[in-house]
Structure 1
Amino acid sequence: MNFSFYTASKIVLKNGAIDEIEQHIGHLGKNFLLVIDPAFYKTPVMDKITKQIDELGAGFAVFSDVQGEPTVELVDEVYDFAMKNGCDAVVSLGGGSNIDVGKAVAALITNGAPVIDYLEVVGKGKKVVNEPAPFIAIPTTAGTGSEVTKNAVVGSKTAGFKRSMRDDKMVATVAIVDPVLTIGCPAKVTASSGIDAMTHLIEAYITFRATPVSDALAIKGIELAGKYLQRAYENGEDLEAREGMAAASLIGGMAFANSGLGAAHGVGMAMGIRYHLSHGEACGIALPHVVKLNADVAGEKLDKVGEALTGKRFAEEGEGTQAAIKFLFDLNKAIGVQPDYKFLKVPKEDIPEIAKGSLGTSMTSNPKEMDVDSLIDFLQDIL
Structure 2
Amino acid sequence: MDEGLVRRLTPAVIGVLVRRGAGFAAAEDAVQDALVEALRAWPDDPPRDPKGWLVTVAWRKFLDGARAESSRRQREERVLEWPAPTPGREADDTLALYFLCAHPSLTPASAVALTLRAVGGLTTRQIAQAYLVPEATMAQRISRAKRTVSDVRLDRPGDVATVLRVLYLVFNEGYSGDVDLAAEAIRLTRQLTTMTDHEEVAGLLALMLLHHARRPARTRADGSLVPLAEQDRTRWDTEIIAEGVDVLQHALARQRIGEFQAQAAIAALHADALTAAETDWVQIVEWYDELVRLTDSPVARLNRAVAVGEADGPRAGLAALAELDGSLPRHSAVAAYLHERDGDTVVAARLYSEAARLASNAAERDHLTRQAARLNATS
TM-score, normalization by structure 2: 0.34
More helix by percentage: 2
More strand by percentage: 1
| Higher relative contact order structure (alpha carbons within 8 Å, sequence separation ≥ 6) | 1
Tell which structure's C-alpha radius of gyration is larger.
2
TM-score, normalization by structure 1: 0.33
